[in-house]
């Protein structure tokens, strides 16, 4: 765990959960697994606050616990899961593009709350959608339930581990902490619920049909609670499935840039066929026959079986190894290589330009090259090639290997070969990305803090205008309220908004690079 990762985790925890949770979370990240009282002692926090902070972190899957033989419960932070909070906007936006607003709000509620029952999610989402609709229109629970089922069928949401029922029947003292288990067959099994109803507007839920405020109702009406139909069956967002979707998108885009649109559509079809059967961390997809691929192509693609075989052969013979051939049965068995080096070249060398990218790719393919060979193969003038090689060498993208002809290592009798260690270059870039995104978050927080007074004033004015519009105020009155913010202040607000939007967009772009680098490192380590 590097200092850059710890700093980024600290910023994310503080931004999402506050100072106390951040202090406990960072302490666990630095020290590893620890029992409750040791955490309270080392952080100087009261036992009650530590318990509440751990509850929040466990609810959001940021901390796990383990019961040791002596009955001591130790808590351990999941740093990689903390860093996933950077990607929350991307998860939500992806669901919106695939499953419209309903799917977007379902995943948003699960990410905001960590774990929720299906019935609670459906009611929350239906209420939120009803709020945005015109008067007289409501969102039906059944429609939200159908979208939830679709998300579970495609594995974007999954069940949380729960306490087995047999554990409660055992005699003797209860364990110090429950053991949570889940059957893989039940992970995406949606309970059969008959949720009948429609979303409610907030203003109508505070008062009953007679207009009586909620606070004035008799107590016996509020004490009665309906039993929850799916009590104990909690759901969470399946982040690995989202990562698999992002990875597939990156592969399709890379194939389209390298080949053509038809090739990318063939690869997209192969990925769609194996998205459920292939693990999100697998280096290769499941083998697919040419006949299966042909039958699964989209209806609009009128290409013959012979043309498909030619495309598959072309993809398999490509040196970048997007597609590999694993057998000859069924017209030929093909697999897709997950995140080859090609997917990283653009993110590696966007800062150096196309000529540096050419040299880097050349050294990567040839393994070891002398400076003169680089100049000849890359067809770049000697002076430029030397500058580019030394620049990449100083940035640790390349390394220099000495092979002496004689034992004295005399420079005149030594070969100097340039080589690329792609794994160490990926790790170095990943470290830089963590530092960059931490700097972006700090800058955004500084910008917001510097203009805190102006932002609060703007929010107050907007609230006044909204309440006056609801009561039917005249245009002149609204104009008078708007003039409370002067022209220089309005200009300052516009500048702040523009700067914050740029910083937010930069965070998302850096996180896309982080995802590619992490995926590449993970796949490369599994292949070795």
Residue-wise pLDDT for 474-518, tens only, equals: 778 778 787 787 888 888 888 888 999 999 999 998 888 888 888
Residue 339, CB-side half-sphere exposure with 13 Å CA sphere = 26
Following CA atoms 443, 449, 450, 456 in sequence, which dihedral angle do they give, to the nearest 10 degrees? Answer: 140
At 56 the pLDDT is: 92
Kindly indicate the confidence band of residue 211, based on its pLDDT and cuts at 50, 70 and 90.
very low
Same domain, 186 and 89: yes
Same domain, 32 and 43: yes
Between strands 116-117 and 234-237, the pairing is antiparallel
Residue 54 falls inside a structural domain: yes
Kindly indicate the confidence band of residue 92, based on its pLDDT and cuts at 50, 70 and 90.
very high
Same domain, 318 and 365: no
Q: What is the CATH number of the domain that holds 313?
A: 1.10.10.10
From first CA to last CA, the distance across the chain in angstroms is 22
Lowest mean pLDDT among 115-129, 422-436, 453-467, 471-485: 471-485
Which secondary structure element, helix H or strand E, spans residue 34, and what is its range? strand 34-35
At 441 the pLDDT is: 93
Kindly indicate the confidence band of residue 350, based on its pLDDT and cuts at 50, 70 and 90.
low
Give helix 141-153 / helix 88-113 axis angle, nearest 10°: 120
At 9 the pLDDT is: 92
Domain tally, the chain: 5
- Do 4 and 431 form a contact (C-beta atoms < 8 A)? yes
Q: CA-CA distance, 294 to 252, in Å (whole number)? A: 18
Same domain, 306 and 414: no
Residue 195 falls inside a structural domain: yes
Last residue of a domain, one of 277, 302, 337: 337
Residue 172 falls inside a structural domain: no
Residue 224 falls inside a structural domain: no
Residue 468 falls inside a structural domain: yes
410: helix, coil or strand? coil
Neighbours of 214 (CB within 10 A): 11
Look-up of token digits 């509620």: 109
Residue 223 falls inside a structural domain: no
At 171 the pLDDT is: 60
Residue 345 falls inside a structural domain: no
289 pLDDT above the threshold of 90 = no
Same domain, 404 and 478: no
Same domain, 450 and 407: no
Last residue of a domain, one of 76, 93, 121: 76
Strand order in the sheet with 73-77: 34-35, 73-77, 63-67
Same domain, 101 and 193: yes
Give the closest residue to 208 by CA, choosing from 196, 199, 197, 218: 218
Same domain, 435 and 415: no
Neighbours of 268 (CB within 10 A): 18
Same domain, 517 and 437: yes
- Residues 408-452 pLDDT 10s: 777 777 888 888 888 888 888 888 889 999 999 999 999 888 888
Task: State the residue range of the domain holding 37.
Answer: 1-76
Same domain, 415 and 439: no
Strongest mean pLDDT among 52-61, 314-323, 514-523: 52-61
353 CB-contact burial (10 Å; exposed 0-12 / middle 13-18 / buried 19+): exposed
* Residue 267 or residue 239, greater confidence: 239
At 340 the pLDDT is: 53
Residue 213 falls inside a structural domain: no
At 377 the pLDDT is: 85
Same domain, 469 and 368: no
């Amino acid at each position: 765990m590097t200092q850059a990762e710890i700093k980024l985790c600290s910023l994310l925890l503080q931004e999402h959960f506050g100072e106390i949770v951040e202090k406990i979370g960072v302490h666990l990240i630095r020290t590893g697994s620890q029992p409750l009282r040791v955490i309270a002692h080392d952080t100087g926090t009261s036992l009650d606050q530590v318990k509440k902070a751990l509850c929040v972190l466990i609810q959001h899957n940021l901390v796990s616990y383990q019961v040791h033989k002596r009955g001591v419960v130790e808590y351990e932070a999941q740093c990689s899961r903390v860093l996933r909070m950077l990607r929350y906007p991307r998860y939500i936006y992806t669901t919106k593009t695939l499953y419209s607003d309903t799917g977007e709000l379902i995943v948003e509620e699960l990410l905001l709350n960590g774990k929720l029952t299906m019935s609670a999610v459906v009611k929350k989402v239906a209420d939120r959608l009803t709020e945005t609709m015109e008067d007289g229109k409501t969102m039906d629970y059944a429609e939200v339930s159908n979208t939830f089922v679709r998300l579970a069928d495609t594995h974007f949401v999954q069940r949380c581990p729960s306490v087995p029922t047999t554990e409660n029947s055992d005699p003797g003292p209860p364990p110090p902490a429950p053991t949570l288990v889940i059957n893989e067959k039940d992970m995406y099994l949606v309970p059969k619920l008959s949720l009948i109803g429609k979303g409610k507007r907030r203003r109508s839920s505070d008062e009953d049909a007679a207009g009586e405020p909620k606070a004035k109702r008799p107590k016996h009406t509020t004490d009665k609670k309906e039993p929850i139909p799916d009590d104990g069956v909690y759901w969470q967002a399946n982040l690995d499935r989202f990562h698999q979707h992002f990875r597939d998108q990156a592969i399709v885009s890379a194939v389209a840039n390298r080949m053509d649109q038809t090739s990318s559509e063939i690869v997209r079809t192969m990925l769609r066929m194996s998205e459920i059967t292939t693990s999100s961390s697998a280096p290769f997809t499941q083998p697919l026959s040419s006949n299966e691929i042909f039958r699964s192509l989209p209806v609009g693609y009128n290409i013959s079986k012979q043309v498909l075989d030619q495309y598959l052969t072309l993809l398999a013979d490509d040196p970048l190894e997007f597609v590999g051939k694993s057998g000859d049965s069924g017209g030929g068995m093909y697999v897709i290589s997950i995140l080859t080096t090609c997917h990283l070249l653009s993110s590696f060398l966007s800062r150096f330009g196309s000529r540096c990218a050419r040299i880097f790719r050349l050294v990567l393919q040839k393994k070891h090259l002398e400076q003169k060979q680089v100049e000849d193969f890359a067809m770049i003038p000697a002076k430029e090639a030397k500058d580019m090689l030394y620049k990449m060498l100083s940035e640790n993208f390349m390394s220099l290997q000495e092979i002496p002809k004689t034992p004295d290592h005399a420079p005149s009798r030594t070969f100097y070969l340039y080589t690329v260690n792609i794994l160490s270059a990926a790790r170095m870039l990943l470290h830089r990305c963590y530092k960059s995104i931490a700097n972006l978050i700090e800058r955004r927080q500084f910008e917001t803090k510097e203009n805190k007074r102006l932002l609060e004033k703007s929010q107050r004015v907007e609230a006044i205008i909204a309440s006056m519009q609801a009561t039917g105020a005249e245009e002149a009155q609204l104009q008078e309220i708007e003039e409370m913010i002067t022209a220089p202040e309005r200009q300052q607000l516009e500048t702040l908004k523009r700067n914050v939007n740029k910083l937010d967009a930069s965070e998302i772009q850096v996180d896309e690079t982080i995802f590619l680098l992490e995926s590449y490192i993970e796949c490369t380590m599994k292949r070795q």
